[in-house]
A and B are shown apart, each in its own frame.
Chain A
Amino acid sequence: MAEQTQVLRIKRQETPNSEPYYEEFEIPYLPHHNIVSMLMEIRRNPVNRKGKRVAPVVFNANCLEEVCGACTMVINGRVRQACSQLANGLHGPATVEPMTKFPVVRDLWVDRSKMFDHLKKARAWIPIDGTYDLGPGPKVAPDVQQFAYLFSRCMTCGCCLEACPQFNSHSKFMGASVIGQVYLMSQHPTGKMNLDERLDAMMAEGGVADCGNAQNCVEVCPKDIPLTTAISAIGRQTTIKWLRDLFMK
Chain B
Amino acid sequence: MAEAEAVAAPAIAAGMTADERHWLLRRLHSLSGIIPIGGFLFFHFFENAFVLKGGAMWWKETEFTRNLPFQIAVEAFVLWIPILYHAIYGLVITATARPNDYPYERNYQYTLQRITGILAFLFIGFHVLSTRGVYYATGVEADYLRMHNFMMNPLILTAYVVGTLACVYHLTNGIFTFTITWGIAVGPKAQTLVNRACIALFIIMAIVGVSILVAFRAPA
Asked whether B97 lies within 8 Å of A165 as measured between CB atoms, the reply is: yes
| B residues near A216, Cβ cutoff 8 Å | 100, 102, 104, 106-107
Prevailing SS type, chain A contact patch:
helix
The answer to whether B186 has its CB under 8 Å from any CB of chain A is yes
The answer to whether B13 has its CB under 8 Å from any CB of chain A is no
| B residues near A170, Cβ cutoff 8 Å | 95-96, 98
When the two chains form the complex, which single residue of B96, B102, B184 contacts A78, counting CB atoms closer than 8 Å? B102
Return the CB mask of A204-247 against B: 1 if under 8 Å, else 0: 11010111111110111000001011011111111100100110
Asked whether A235 lies within 8 Å of B102 as measured between CB atoms, the reply is: no
The answer to whether A95 has its CB under 8 Å from any CB of chain B is no
The answer to whether B15 has its CB under 8 Å from any CB of chain A is yes
The answer to whether A171 has its CB under 8 Å from any CB of chain B is yes
The answer to whether B26 has its CB under 8 Å from any CB of chain A is yes
Asked whether A203 lies within 8 Å of B20 as measured between CB atoms, the reply is: yes
| B residues near A237, Cβ cutoff 8 Å | 183
The answer to whether B24 has its CB under 8 Å from any CB of chain A is yes
Return the CB mask of A185-211 against B: 1 if under 8 Å, else 0: 000000000000000110111010111
Number of interface residues of B (CB under 8 A): 37
Asked whether B188 lies within 8 Å of A166 as measured between CB atoms, the reply is: no
Asked whether A165 lies within 8 Å of B180 as measured between CB atoms, the reply is: no
Asked whether B180 lies within 8 Å of A204 as measured between CB atoms, the reply is: no
Q: Which of A165, A204, A210, A242 has the most CB of B within 10 A?
A: A165
Return the CB mask of B1-28 against A: 1 if under 8 Å, else 0: 0000000000000011111101110110
Residue on B with the closest CB to A167?
B98
Assembled-state Cα–Cα distance A171/B15 (Å): 26
The answer to whether B185 has its CB under 8 Å from any CB of chain A is yes
Asked whether A163 lies within 8 Å of B183 as measured between CB atoms, the reply is: no
When the two chains form the complex, which single residue of A173, A207, A228 contacts B180, counting CB atoms closer than 8 Å? A228
The answer to whether B219 has its CB under 8 Å from any CB of chain A is no
| A residues near B101, Cβ cutoff 8 Å | 77
Give the Cβ gap from A22 to chain B, nearest Cβ, in Å.
19
Residue on A with the closest CB to B183?
A236
Prevailing SS type, chain B contact patch:
helix
The answer to whether B62 has its CB under 8 Å from any CB of chain A is no
Residue on B with the closest CB to A200?
B19
Assembled-state Cα–Cα distance A210/B96 (Å): 10
Contacts A165-B98, A203-B23, A226-B188; is A232 near B183 (CB within 8 Å)?
yes
When the two chains form the complex, which single residue of A166, A211, A213, A229 contacts B187, counting CB atoms closer than 8 Å? A229
When the two chains form the complex, which single residue of B15, B18, B26, B182 contacts A236, counting CB atoms closer than 8 Å? B182
Contacts A212-B110, A239-B183; is A232 near B191 (CB within 8 Å)?
yes
The answer to whether B181 has its CB under 8 Å from any CB of chain A is yes
Asked whether B188 lies within 8 Å of A228 as measured between CB atoms, the reply is: yes
Number of interface residues of A (CB under 8 A): 42
The answer to whether B99 has its CB under 8 Å from any CB of chain A is yes
The answer to whether A249 has its CB under 8 Å from any CB of chain B is yes
The answer to whether A168 has its CB under 8 Å from any CB of chain B is yes
Asked whether B188 lies within 8 Å of A249 as measured between CB atoms, the reply is: no
Give the Cβ gap from A234 to chain B, nearest Cβ, in Å.
8
Asked whether A213 lies within 8 Å of B183 as measured between CB atoms, the reply is: no
Assembled-state Cα–Cα distance A38/B133 (Å): 66
| A residues near B110, Cβ cutoff 8 Å | 165, 212-215
| B residues near A165, Cβ cutoff 8 Å | 97-100, 107, 110-111
Asked whether A163 lies within 8 Å of B188 as measured between CB atoms, the reply is: no
Please give the residue numbers on chain A whose beta carbons come within 8 Å of chain B beta carbons, in ascending order: 77-78, 163, 165-166, 168, 170-171, 173, 200-201, 203-205, 207, 209-216, 218-220, 226, 228-229, 231-239, 242, 245-246, 249
Query: Can you name 28 A-B residue pairings with CB atoms under 8 Å?
Result: A77-B101, A165-B97, A165-B99, A165-B107, A165-B110, A168-B96, A170-B95, A171-B96, A173-B96, A200-B17, A203-B22, A207-B19, A209-B26, A209-B27, A210-B26, A213-B181, A214-B106, A216-B106, A219-B102, A219-B104, A226-B187, A228-B188, A228-B191, A233-B183, A235-B180, A236-B182, A236-B184, A246-B15
Besides the contacts A212-B110, A228-B180, what 16 more A-B pairs have beta carbons closer than 8 Å? A78-B102, A165-B99, A166-B97, A166-B98, A203-B17, A203-B19, A213-B109, A215-B104, A215-B106, A219-B104, A228-B188, A232-B183, A233-B183, A238-B23, A242-B27, A245-B20
* Closest 6 A/B residue pairs (Cβ): A236-B183, A214-B110, A209-B26, A171-B96, A204-B19, A203-B23
